[in-house]
Amino acid sequence: MTFSPQEFKQQFPLFSQAENRDLVYLDNAATTQKPGCVIDAIRDFYLHSNANTHRSSHRLARRATDMVERVRAASACFLGAQSPREIIFTRGATEGLNLLANSLCRGLVAGDEIVLSTAEHHANLVPWQMLAEQHGLVLRFVPDANGVPQIDRIAEVLSPRTKIVSVTGGSNALGFRTDLATLRATLRATLSQRDLRWVVDGSQLAAHDVVDVAAIGCDFFVCSAHKFYGPTGIGLVYGREALLRDLPPWQGGGEMITSVDLLASDYADLPHRFEAGTSSLAAIAGLGACIEFLGKQDRRAMAQHEQTLLAYLHDRLSKVPELELLSNPRNNLGIASFVHPRCAAIDIAQWLDGRDIAVRVGHHCAQPLLHAAGHTATVRASLVAYNSREDVDRLIAGIEELLQQLDDTAEPQPSAAGSSESAATEAYPWQPDDLSKLDLDALCNQKNWQDRYRTIMSWAKVISRKDQIRTTEHLVQGCESSAWLVHRQEAGVHRFAIDSDSRIVKGLGALLLSQIDGVSEGAVAPSELHQIFDELGLSQQLSESRGNGFRALVQRAFDLMDA
């Protein structure tokens, strides 16, 4: 059967909205778009079934209760669980991992060990750190190569004190799948010797693979619906029934108890003992529609399309001059991660956003992995079945256009100190850049945002690299990209210098310094700079974090002047 991404995409109403018809959405590892049936199911619940579950006797409550338990049974089938009692509803994978960390660690003693990997999402790292500190536990990590876990070497870190192994099923930062078959084979021998629990963070798996927890062989599995075309606010925890029965509940409150007195409580049976409070019932309805939707698709054809497209994406990216690919298309969950030496990752993402191409930039909640790979941030493009070759082509065209823009504006950097500097000035470890050729009026007179953006990018060329100011002391707090700002008073005026790894931050810094460098005390007020920022349309066109970064630069500059 031939899979058509165009026909598949037609089932997702967001793409048919006027403002989104040209959107290239490549941020699917963060969250996928929702098919119409999911949106309809959420709306239908509020229209026809809105009531709390289980303890009321009226018909709306009965209908809501029936829906929840029906979706629980469907979720068990979706994950390959043996019984609906093995399925716990949570607000997402993060809450599911916190639940498991708190419940599993409660029975451990100081010195017991938990094995993780350097590739974990923070949600599968931080909870274990917190519980390790609380209970005196020891965290150990699978041996890695540049951050990528070497699962075939996990036996090197297993010991008689190992009680929990919790690893990702696939990296959300670089896309590689974990070798779960090898892990199962290693742990199967270990399980026969001692009491050990195996947790899989399957957040990135469910959109791309048919999940079968029995085949995986894990004790616990977590995932979030919004990663596989379902709604936000609902996640699944699978746990072997025998193991769940022995686990203490994590949160306390309504629905997870059968009786309460002033000094003690009796907990409900599985799985309700782990579901304190009111669940996101409309999201559960949407989850049910999502599972039904996926059940009607040719999952094998979807997966084949994704892999073919991912190979095409990596091939096109590999041909972009100087671009560094951190990901590999083989055994990959649909992710391409890359950097470019001539512009910061956030600059690439901001440029692409101006062309209606959505990617994600940053450490992707996987800082240890990226640090081990030698980076602090990457651009991540992530695919699912509604993406197409046309999407990839537009992404590449956007990147190539940005690089051409950098080539067009590239000029030799100005020297650190001009020939007119006095001997006293030359004694300083840094010199201000020459901003005399920057024309604010010309910038304001640009007819459209794209021309203004290009001009600001070109202004970055006047900001020279200043290694001597790149210290913690001069780092500006609140900028999305690293920026360093220094100040001194000289002959009754204020002098500044700035540096950044980001071209757009350099351009914005040049804009700021063009108004305050070389002026006397009180000659300009912060409000005037914010007004310029707004009048140029920067507050509307740049991301909120970029706007906050400019305001942080302004605040830092005036703090330095007042010091």
Question: Token pair for residue 52?
Answer: 């709390």
* Assigned token pair, 193: 């010797």
Per-residue pLDDT at 407: 76
Q: What is the pLDDT of residue 423?
A: 40
Residues of the chain with pLDDT under 70: 1, 56, 191-194, 409-427, 480, 543, 545-546
Query: In angstroms, rounded to a whole number, what is the distance separating the alpha carbons of residues 386 and 298?
Result: 13
Distance CA 10, CA 12 (A): 5
- Residue 389, both tokens: 């070759």
> For 404-459, how does the pLDDT look when each residue is reduced to its tens digit (9 = 90+)?
887 776 544 444 444 334 444 455 789 999 999 999 988 888 877 778 888 888 89
Q: What share of the chain is helix, strand, coil (3-state, %, to 5)?
A: 45, 15, 40
| DSSP-assigned letter for residue 297 | S
Distances (CA, A) of 31 to 92, 122, 134, 176, 227: 12, 16, 32, 18, 5
Confidence (pLDDT) at 418: 41
Using CA atoms, how far residue 36 sits from 8, 42, 294, 422, in Å, is 11, 10, 13, 69
Largest CA distance in the chain: 88
Contacts of 106 (CB under 8 A, 6+ apart): 248
Spatial distance between the Cα atoms of 141 and 118, rounded to a whole number of angstroms: 7
Question: CA torsion 445→481→19→359, rounded to 10°?
Answer: 140
Give CA 51 to chain center in angstroms.
34
Q: 427-433: list long-range contacts, CB under 8 Å, 24+ apart.
A: 428/488, 429/468, 429/469, 430/466, 430/468, 430/469, 430/486, 430/497, 431/497, 432/495, 432/496, 432/497, 432/513, 432/517, 432/518, 433/462, 433/463, 433/464, 433/497, 433/498, 433/510, 433/513
For 490, the enclosing helix (H) or strand (E) is strand 483-490
**Helix segments in 258-298, DSSP class H:** 281-295
Query: Please, which residues have CB within 8 angstroms of residue 487's CB and are 6 or more apart in sequence?
Result: 494, 495, 496, 557, 560, 561
**For residues 294 and 286, is the Cβ–Cβ distance under 8 A?**
no
User: How many angstroms from the chain centroid is the CA of residue 210?
Assistant: 23
The C-alpha atoms of residue 539 and residue 546 are separated, in whole angstroms, by: 9
Give the count of beta carbons closer than 10 Å to the beta carbon of residue 285: 27
| Integer Cα distance of 103 and 320 in angstroms | 48
What are the residue ranges of helices labelled H in 361-499? 367-372, 389-409, 423-426, 440-444, 449-459
- The domains found in the chain, sorted by start residue, are 5-26+298-407 (3.90.1150.10), 37-295 (3.40.640.10), 413-562 (3.90.1010.10)
The per-residue pLDDT for 292 is 98
Q: Let me know: does 327 contact 366? Beta carbons within 8 Å.
A: no
User: Of 271, 237, 273, which Cα lies nearest the Cα of 255?
Assistant: 273
pTM for this entry: 0.86
Which of 218, 343, 365, 479 is an active site residue?
A: 365
Task: List the beta bridge partners of residue 140.
Answer: 115
Distance CA 460, CA 454 (A): 10
Task: Give the span between the Cα atoms of 100 and 187, in whole angstroms.
Answer: 19
* 190, 164 Cβ separation under 8 angstroms: no
CA distances from 302 to 5, 33, 298, 334, 359 (A): 8, 16, 6, 12, 21
What is the Cα–Cα distance from 131 to 57, expressed in whole angstroms? Answer: 40
Query: What's the token pair of residue 430?
Result: 């840094």
Whole-number Cα distances in Å, 229 to 148, 243, 288, 350: 28, 30, 11, 25
Element (H, E) at 99: helix 93-105
All residues at 6 or more sequence positions from 165 whose CB lies less than 8 Å from its CB, including other chains: 114, 115, 116, 154, 158, 183, 187, 196, 197, 198, 199
Q: Which residues pair with residue 177 across a beta bridge?
A: 170
- Residue 365 a catalytic site member: yes
The pLDDT, as a whole number, for residue 548 is 80
For residue 176, which of 376, 328, 371 has the smallest C-alpha distance?
Answer: 328
Return the residue matching tokens 């338990």: 69
For 489, other C-beta atoms within 10 Å of its C-beta total 12
pLDDT of residue 194: 67
Q: Where are the beta strands (DSSP E) in 230-313?
A: 235-239, 257-260, 265-267
